[in-house]
Amino acid sequence: MAVKRSQHRVGVGTAMLRHVEANLAADGVEFLQVKTLSAARPHVGYDATRAFYLACGFRPLKEFPTLCTRPTPALQLIKTISPP
């Protein structure tokens, strides 16, 4: 999932996430997980991404020092999906 930088902070990402969550809940899915760049590697864009997910109710689950065999620290976040 991605939102063009020009569309940040106007509700596009939140609307997309709510749509996905509603569909997952209707299918009986209990959890949603995302991975993003960890704070171990500072990056302004990904700092905002992590803040977005945290504000949407995601909680950190696990940090991976490498992802896909590259030394790219990743953070896995998880959120409980509410039933419809």
Q: What is the pTM of this model?
A: 0.88
pLDDT in tens, 19-74: 999 999 999 999 999 999 999 988 998 999 999 999 999 999 999 988 777 788 99
Output the CA–CA distances (angstroms, integers) from residue 61 to 17, 31, 54, in the order listed. Answer: 19, 12, 12
Q: Are 38 and 60 in contact (CB under 8 A)?
A: no
**CA 41/CA 17 separation, integer angstroms:** 25
Can you give the pLDDT at residue 71? 80
pLDDT at 39 (0 to 100)? 94
Show contacts of 11-14: CB within 8 Å, 24+ apart: 13/52, 14/56
Closest to 36 in 3D by CA, of 4, 61, 8: 61
Q: Report phi then psi at 70, rounded to 5.
A: -105, 150
